Structure 1
Amino acid sequence: MVALVIAEHDHKVVKVATLNAVTAALACGGEVHVLVAGADAGEVAQAAAQIAGVTRVIHADSESFAHGLAENVAAQVLDIAHNYSHILFAATASGKNIAPRVAASLDVAQISEIIRVESDDVFDRPIYVGNAVATVQSGDATKVITVRTTGFAAAAASGGCAVVEAVTPARDSGKSHFVGSQIVKSDRPELAAAKIVVSGGRALGSANKFDEVIKPLADKLGAAVGASRAAVDAGYAPNDPQVGQTGKIVAPELYIAIGISGAIQHLAGMKDSKVIVAINKDAEAPIFSVADYGLEADLFVAVPELVAAL
């Protein structure tokens, strides 16, 4: 058996989610290869070759991969899919965009967001917003899998010595083209990989209050900023920092939930955090049921006091 992990990268650096997916691939048994599809991504291929446990890096370099269009990356995966028993993607926006196209083209069932590998054909995945875990067995010859990154430790980024093999890139599918992007630059850590996350909810009342209360605390702690879906829907925060079932799944060492009631959708995205701190004036808020530390207080008083004390 040989497993293929599809690397996520920015054409310069391998993203941490790839390391989590490698750990899942190693648990499937057999060799682990990594596909780097990018434009001028030689540095990424070399970095992927250093990942512990990886034996081969497949490097496909083309301008058609410059913007990570799902149709083009899926075509590259399909070109080499016959060589692999398992094809794994991180369960990120990119992985969730590409994996279904690969599974459909191979006429197999996708196995989504696994959190544990029981054997080479048996996997655990959360269902019912994480309130139950389903054990799934697949009889497909090629198993197309997305990996919930919080379920697996990151593989060591160094210590490996894989062979890098350049392959002929797949042709541009012509099914989509890149129009433009608006990228928000921040000095804060990336939300999915941050060790500390400070999240705000609808109780903050406005976008201005969200910034006034949440960001100073995040700056003091060197933390990433998160938000509940209610806060995003109300326009207090952009979509990107949304934590929850329909947002990002995070498991930092410290998660601070401020003015978040703890709806089941939000809990599904952060309940695996190592330490959870909740600040809410509602003593009956569901967030307190999962919090390690809870402070029943007015957030507009408590959080500035906390910032001043740090």
Structure 2
Amino acid sequence: MTILVIAEHDHASIKVATLNTIGAAAVVATFTNQPIHVLVAGHGARAAADAAARVAGVGKVLLADAPQLAEGLAENLEATVLNVAKDYSHILIPATAYGKNIAPRIAAKLDVAQISEVTAVVSADSFERPIYAGNAIATVQSLDSIKVITVRATGFDAVATEGGGASIETIAAPADAGVSQFVSREVTKLDRPELTSANIIVSGGRGLGSGEHYREVLEPLADRLGAALGASRAAVDAGYVPNDYQVGQTGKIVAPQLYIAVGISGAIQHLAGMKDSKVIVAINKDEEAPIFSVADYGLVGDLFDCVPSLLNELNAHQ
């Protein structure tokens, strides 16, 4: 038996979350001594398959290329995976919107329990995953013959994009399931790094008071640091920024090298999304704010004074 990673890709390259998932598969492989295969399903996706073949630790790439796989419809991807699932003991997929759309269907059709948001591998059949908004860690053991796992990317280091030399095998794609169709996609174009893969994130909360203040105060700091912009749920709900900025249990899970939280009180659901950041800096006028309980550095003060002062210091030492 073998380990299968279902790749999230853009038809030309492999998404970073897939590299983290391959990292998780590599840990599983230390217990099972099994090779790792990667499935690339799409249309015109040979470049993505080539990229996957170069990834360190990958033994084989399966390429399913057909028009009905072009837009990643869950029903067609599910059927593609099920065609080869019997050959694998573990099927791993990133715990992104892409993965969460596909994994439950695969698990249901295989009649196995899905193991969600895995952050550590204990053994070949036991895994750790956060529960209660990350306030507790559950160790889950699965006795299913095929284990369907979604991997929280922040729990594993990404593997190297170069160094591998896997073979590429073309597999047949099932016919279009015909139960759904792709209508349109609106893609947000960012001038800054993407939130889930950024090394530095500047995030704002309700303390900023308005969307105008959010932009005036945080954008110059983010520009200076080359950072992505994030927000708390309260800031998103108040309409300061779109919901794709949201960090937290109901938003995006991040773990950058540096996370700067400005005017964020630190509700449990927000902390669940960012507390694995390597260094956390909190700026808040309330010295009792929960955000300070996870912060490596805390600055108690008015953000409208503190952030411009911080920016001035950065500019003075550039």
Spell out the pairing of 1:273-288 with structure 2 (5 A cutoff).
273-288=277-292
Which residue is equivalent to 1:3? 3
Which residue is equivalent to 2:25? 25
1:71 to 71, 75, 85: 75
- Unpaired runs of at least 5, structure 2: none
CA distance in 1, matches of 2:301, 2:179: 53
- For residue 308 of structure 1, report the CA deviation from its aligned partner: 2.7
* 1:308 and 2:312 are equivalent in the alignment: yes
**What is the one-letter code of the residue matched to 2:211?**
A
Which residue is equivalent to 1:106? 110
Which deviates more from structure 2 when the two are superposed, residues 169-178 or residues 81-90? 169-178
CA distance in 2, matches of 1:275, 1:183: 30
CA distance in 2, matches of 1:3, 1:91: 17
2:271 to 246, 267, 277: 267
1:199-253 per-residue CA deviation (whole Å, 9 max, x = no partner) reads 0111111111111111111111000111111111111111112111111111100
2:157 to 145, 153, 167: 153
* 1:219 and 2:218 are equivalent in the alignment: no
Which deviates more from structure 2 when the two are superposed, residues 262-271 or residues 75-84? 75-84
1:45-102 per-residue CA deviation (whole Å, 9 max, x = no partner) reads 0000011111000001112122211121111111111111110011111101110010
Which deviates more from structure 2 when the two are superposed, residues 104-113 or residues 176-185? 176-185
* 1:298 and 2:302 are equivalent in the alignment: yes
* 1:258 and 2:262 are equivalent in the alignment: yes
State how many pairs are aligned. 310
**What is the one-letter code of the residue matched to 2:15?**
K
2:61 to 57, 63, 75: 57
CA distance in 1, matches of 2:308, 2:80: 51
- For residue 305 of structure 1, report the CA deviation from its aligned partner: 2.2
**What is the one-letter code of the residue matched to 2:116?**
S
**What is the one-letter code of the residue matched to 2:24?**
A
CA distance in 1, matches of 2:272, 2:92: 22
- For residue 7 of structure 1, report the CA deviation from its aligned partner: 0.5
CA distance in 1, matches of 2:49, 2:185: 25
Which residue is equivalent to 1:209? 213
Which residue is equivalent to 1:15? 15
**What is the one-letter code of the residue matched to 1:21?**
T
**What is the one-letter code of the residue matched to 1:270?**
M
* 1:140 and 2:144 are equivalent in the alignment: yes
Which deviates more from structure 2 when the two are superposed, residues 216-225 or residues 298-307? 298-307
CA distance in 2, matches of 1:122, 1:232: 37
1:137-165 per-residue CA deviation (whole Å, 9 max, x = no partner) reads 10101100000111111111110111100
- For residue 307 of structure 1, report the CA deviation from its aligned partner: 2.1
**What is the one-letter code of the residue matched to 2:278?**
K
1:200 to 194, 198, 204: 204
CA distance in 1, matches of 2:214, 2:121: 40
- For residue 269 of structure 1, report the CA deviation from its aligned partner: 0.5
CA distance in 1, matches of 2:303, 2:82: 51
Supply the RMSD in Å over aligned alpha carbons. 0.9
Spell out the pairing of 1:143-182 with structure 2 (5 A cutoff).
143-182=147-186
CA distance in 2, matches of 1:195, 1:226: 12
CA distance in 2, matches of 1:50, 1:89: 19
* 1:42 and 2:46 are equivalent in the alignment: yes
TM-score normalised by structure 2 residue count: 0.96
Spell out the pairing of 1:229-268 with structure 2 (5 A cutoff).
229-268=233-272
Which deviates more from structure 2 when the two are superposed, residues 220-229 or residues 169-178? 169-178
CA distance in 2, matches of 1:67, 1:225: 28
1:93-123 per-residue CA deviation (whole Å, 9 max, x = no partner) reads 1101110010011110000011111111111
